Structure 1
Amino acid sequence: MTKMDTNRKAYIITGPTSGIGRITAFELAKHGTVVLVGRDRKKLDELQNSIVKKGQHAVSVVCDLQEIASVRCAAQEIIDLRLPIAGLLNNAGVMQMRATKNSLGWDTTFATNHLGPFALTEALAPYLPDGANVVFVASGVEDPNRKPAKAAGFRGGRYISAEASARGEWKPGGAKNPGLDAYATSKQAILAATLAFARENPRLRFNALEPGFTPNTGLARDANGFLKFLANYILPLFAPHIKYWSTPGRAGRLSAKVLTDESGRTGVYFDEKGHPMHPSMLVQDLKFQDRVVAETRALLASVHSK
């Protein structure tokens, strides 16, 4: 790191190499040094080089969010950079149609979308300066009463407990495809945690963002060829004209705007237009928020020595 790098504000973003994350990374680089956190070293290096060629600043940190050991190593690497971190954007996410497990036997979707971002945030929070922004990319599909989510086959988050979710178990009565339940539940849990963090830690600013339905983000990486073609080339043509839909460009610019916001707002859940929105009734319940945080901390502590 050069002297110039360490004197600039820095913004951390997970999942920066594709979709919304890639565009957000370029936007954040306009505001300071961007810390690129992702699984693929080659893709990270390519993105870092592209940012540097624009005369801006970036550094890469390899991290697999589904693996807690990797998250903790990455957090320490970021801390050791000694950058003036102004914001952390937990953007990375995955939605699997066919469930897989990580090395601990945990559901990959829940680990990637909730446990990993939770652990990364908890590890970095003590090192963030007063007033720093922490933003989690959430999703309206966690709300069982959200009409567009229901139309897409979602039945809301199906949270039982952190341990049950890690095992890939969801409340009955959910979607036909359990992959939708896994995704909705992971987003339900991280949204609840966001709101709890905002109450727990007034020193920092914790907010969440629903980026809108953005079909060509690479979120469903294991979809079949036809669905990938539909998502990448057909549905994006309609996105700008449909309520609740968005595009990677629009969502990326909004993500950067929320992360760099200096208004001091905290505990806000923003919609795809940047306006405050309400989460599901369950997520609004303070006892539920606190339970999710307590259970998640207990689950992560159980692998502390591994």
Structure 2
Amino acid sequence: MPTPGQAWIITGPTSGIGRRTALELAGHGTVVLVGRDPDKLKEVEAEISAQAGGHAVSVVCDFSDIPGVRRAAAQIVALGLPLAGLLNNAGIMPNRADRTAQGWDLAFTTNHLGPFTLTEALIPHLPDGANVVFTCSGVEDPERKPAVTAGFRGGRYISAEAGARGEWQPGGSSKHGFDAYATSKQGNLATVLAFARETPRLRFIAVEPGFNPGTGLGRDANAALQLLAKYVLAPLAPLIKYWSTPKRAARLLAGVLTSESQQSGVYYDENGKPMLGSAQVRDAAFSDRVVAETRALLARAPSEIR
């Protein structure tokens, strides 16, 4: 069983599912909070401290800034804590095709390239048997009916370089940001499956937490839609298939991260049951290619892709 002396890393811990998961993890040891807003990180730190003497430390990191992610990983290692596991939860879904300071697609960088960079930097410092969990999404699967109904057309991966440029396979969604989001989540799942084969001493796990209306993921939506999600859709979530709530999703994520019985390369749905990703991402050659191309891209200076 997890011991109080262990330290659990969680990204995106200042709102929605991430915040609730961070609070759930407080009972398992030190929580390393990794996010971009120092004031909000301090708020979560204080909340954890108020929970029966829980302990948390903060590391400021913007996942759209790859050099910054590398610095954050070094900071985490320098804390000298007994690292026990990593939850890559941070993510965004912009309504428009935004760019990072280096000129890369914002969603693809924040959701895929940033977490990939952090994970690769921390793998050598994680103990055998540690869980590395990615919050994924079924929208990467073009055959997933609820996602198609919502306007998604699955992951549209061409190459890591194309993703950085904000270019996707034709025939995608008519809604701005959907192809970038779906493709970035396809990248997350490909990473889990490929890393599980590459590094058997660790356990790589993907979790689809279900549709959680009212969370911070849709912060770029207009005010009317945000209010609708929070006060109308969110209360209905427990009654609808594929939907969930931040509280339930947090219990699932914290449970998977701290469990000692998880298999590697597994993908869990919002109920903690094994599920399948798209046919494309389940092809080992495809997921291995995503990882190889992502590594090649990240090996170069971020300013090279414009």
TM-score by length of 2: 0.96
For the pair 1:32 / 2:29, whether they are aligned, the reply is yes
For the pair 1:124 / 2:126, whether they are aligned, the reply is no
User: Could you give the per-residue CA deviations for residues 13-57 of structure 1, whole angstroms, max 9, x where no partner exists?
Assistant: 000000000000000011110000000000001110111122111
Aligned twin of 2:144: 146
Q: Could you tell me how far apart the structure 2 residues matched to 1:22 and 1:121 are?
A: 20
Q: Could you tell me how far apart the structure 2 residues matched to 1:183 and 1:145 are?
A: 16
Q: Which moved more, 1:108-117 or 1:261-270?
A: 261-270
Q: Could you tell me how far apart the structure 2 residues matched to 1:174 and 1:223 are?
A: 20
Tell me, what secondary structure is at the counterpart of 1:295?
helix
Taking structure 1 as reference, are residues 58 and 21 closer, same or farther at Cα in structure 2, changes over 3 Å only? same
Aligned twin of 1:3: none
* CA-based RMSD: 1.4
Structure 1 position 178, deviation (Å)? 3.4
Structure 1 position 7, deviation (Å)? 7.2
For the pair 1:41 / 2:38, whether they are aligned, the reply is yes
Picking from 76, 86, 96, the partner of 1:98 is 96
Aligned twin of 1:209: 207
Q: Could you tell me how far apart the structure 1 residues matched to 2:54 and 2:101 are?
A: 37
Q: Could you tell me how far apart the structure 1 residues matched to 2:153 and 2:207 are?
A: 20
Indicate conservation of the 8 Å contact 2:103/2:303, yes or no.
no
Aligned twin of 1:65: 63
Q: Could you tell me how far apart the structure 1 residues matched to 2:230 and 2:167 are?
A: 31
Aligned twin of 2:48: 51
Picking from 185, 203, 207, the partner of 2:183 is 185
Indicate conservation of the 8 Å contact 2:156/2:168, yes or no.
yes
Aligned twin of 2:12: 15
Structure 1 position 222, deviation (Å)? 1.0
Picking from 247, 250, 257, the partner of 1:249 is 247
Q: Could you tell me how far apart the structure 2 residues matched to 1:52 and 1:123 are?
A: 28
In structure 1, give the amino acid aligned to 2:179.
D
Q: Could you tell me how far apart the structure 2 residues matched to 1:264 and 1:173 are?
A: 37
Picking from 281, 293, 301, the partner of 1:303 is 301
Q: Could you tell me how far apart the structure 1 residues matched to 2:198 and 2:77 are?
A: 22
Q: Could you tell me how far apart the structure 2 residues matched to 1:10 and 1:209 are?
A: 20
Taking structure 1 as reference, are residues 7 and 21 closer, same or farther at Cα in structure 2, changes over 3 Å only? closer
In structure 2, give the amino acid aligned to 1:132.
A
Aligned twin of 1:228: 226
User: Could you give the per-residue CA deviations for residues 186-218 of structure 1, whole angstroms, max 9, x where no partner exists?
Assistant: 001110111000000001110000000001111
Indicate conservation of the 8 Å contact 1:174/1:181, yes or no.
yes
Structure 1 position 88, deviation (Å)? 0.2
Q: Which runs of 5+ in 2 are unaligned?
A: none
User: Could you give the per-residue CA deviations for residues 83-120 of structure 1, whole angstroms, max 9, x where no partner exists?
Assistant: 11111000000001112111111111000100000000
Indicate conservation of the 8 Å contact 1:7/1:84, yes or no.
no
Aligned twin of 1:80: 78
In structure 2, give the amino acid aligned to 1:32.
G
Tell me, what secondary structure is at the counterpart of 1:263?
coil
Deviation above 3 Å: which 4+ runs of structure 1?
A: none
Taking structure 1 as reference, are residues 288 and 69 closer, same or farther at Cα in structure 2, changes over 3 Å only? same
Indicate conservation of the 8 Å contact 1:160/1:171, yes or no.
yes
User: Could you give the per-residue CA deviations for residues 229-280 of structure 1, whole angstroms, max 9, x where no partner exists?
Assistant: 1111110011000000000000011000010110141100000000110000
Give percent identity, aligned residues only: 67
In structure 2, give the amino acid aligned to 1:28.
L
Tell me, what secondary structure is at the counterpart of 1:178?
coil
Q: Could you tell me how far apart the structure 2 residues matched to 1:129 and 1:12 are?
A: 13
Indicate conservation of the 8 Å contact 1:66/1:108, yes or no.
yes
In structure 1, give the amino acid aligned to 2:21.
T
Q: Which runs of 5+ in 1 are unaligned?
A: 1-5
Tell me, what secondary structure is at the counterpart of 2:9?
strand
Indicate conservation of the 8 Å contact 2:73/2:122, yes or no.
yes
Taking structure 1 as reference, are residues 214 and 7 closer, same or farther at Cα in structure 2, changes over 3 Å only? closer
Q: Could you tell me how far apart the structure 2 residues matched to 1:127 and 1:7 are?
A: 19
In structure 2, give the amino acid aligned to 1:110.
F
